[in-house]
Amino acid sequence: MLPSHIPRPPRRRHRAAALLALTVACAAGVARVALGSDHQDTPEVELSPRMDINDVYAFPGASADRIVLVLTTSSPIAPGADASFDPNLLYQIKVDNSGDAVEDLVLQFTFDGMGASQRVHLRGPVAPAQTGTSNTLVATAPQLTGAVNQVLGSATGVQLFAGLRDDPFFIDLEQFFRIVPDRRPATGPLSTIGPEPEASAFRDPGIDYVRGFNTLAMVVELPVAMLTGGGSGRLGLWGTTSR
Quick check: 21 and 54 in contact, CB under 8 A? yes
When mean pLDDT is compared over 46-55, 122-131, 218-227, the highest value belongs to 218-227
180 or 122: which leads in pLDDT: 122
Compute how many other C-beta atoms are within 10 angstroms of the C-beta atom of residue 65. 10
- DSSP at 11: P
At residue 202, φ and ψ (nearest 5 deg) are: -75, 155
pLDDT tier for residue 3 given thresholds of 50, 70 and 90: very low
What pLDDT score was predicted for residue 195?
63
The whole-angstrom distance between residue 225's C-alpha and the CA centroid of its chain comes to 22
What pLDDT score was predicted for residue 36?
43
73 or 120: which leads in pLDDT: 120
| Cα 17 to Cα 169: distance, rounded to the nearest angstrom | 9
| Cα 105 to Cα 49: distance, rounded to the nearest angstrom | 26
Q: How confident is the model over 154-168, as pLDDT tens digits?
A: 999 999 999 988 888
**Residue 108, Cβ density class (10 Å: 0-12 exposed, 13-18 middle, ≥19 buried):** buried
Q: How confident is the model over 31-59, as pLDDT tens digits?
A: 333 344 355 555 556 666 666 778 899 98
Identify the sign of the CA torsion 161, 164, 165, 170. Answer: positive
Strands 53-60 and 152-153: unpaired
34 or 148: which leads in pLDDT: 148
